[in-house]
Amino acid sequence: MDAAYVSALSALAGSSIGAMASFATTWLTQHSQERATLLVQDRARREALYGEFIREASTLFGDAFQHDLKDPAKLVNLYAIVNKIRLFGGPETLEEAERVMQGIGETYFAPHKSISSYADIHHAGDLDPLCTFSRVCRRELAIARR
C-alpha cells in the first residue's frame, strides 16, 4: 500500500470519528435538555392542577359547612379535577384527593356547624380536610424537582 493512501485513509478515519463524536455529543445534549424541559413542564402542570383542586375543594368545603347539597352539579368541577389527578398525579396524591372529595360529600350531609367552629381551625382536624393532601402534594413535587 502506498504511503499516500495510508495518510489519506487516516485523515478520513480521523474526520469520521470526530464527526461521529460531535454528532453524539450534540444528540446527548439535546436529549438531556428536552428531558429537563419535559420534567419542568410536568411539574408546572401538577402544581397548577393541585392548586386548582385546593381552590375548588376549599370553596366547596366552605359551602358544605353551611348548606345542604341541593344541586349535585356543584361537585362536577371537583370530580373533573380529581380525574385529571388520576391522569397526571401520583397514587398517594390521588388517594388523598379522593379522600377530600368524599369528606366534602359527607360534610354536605352532616349537620351544619356554626361559624364559631372556624375560630379554632388549627386544632380541629375535620375543619382542615386539605392539610394531608397539601403535604402529599409537596412531597410529590419535591421528588419531581430532583
Q: Which DSSP category does 130 fall into?
A: T
Task: Return the SS3 of 57.
Answer: helix
Determine the pLDDT at residue 87. 93
What is the pTM assigned to this prediction? Answer: 0.73
pLDDT beyond 90 at 39: no
Grid cell digits, residue 21: 463524536
Nearest C-alpha neighbor of 89 from the set 133, 59, 121: 133
Nearest C-alpha neighbor of 133 from the set 95, 107, 102, 86: 95
> In whole angstroms, what is the distance from residue 9 CA to residue 87 CA?
56
Choose the most confident range, by mean pLDDT, from 11-20, 35-44, 46-55.
Answer: 46-55
Taking the alpha carbons at both ends of the chain, their separation in whole angstroms is: 57
The C-alpha R_g of the chain, in whole angstroms, comes to 28
Determine the pLDDT at residue 22. 85
pLDDT beyond 60 at 121: no
Average pLDDT, whole number, for the chain? 84
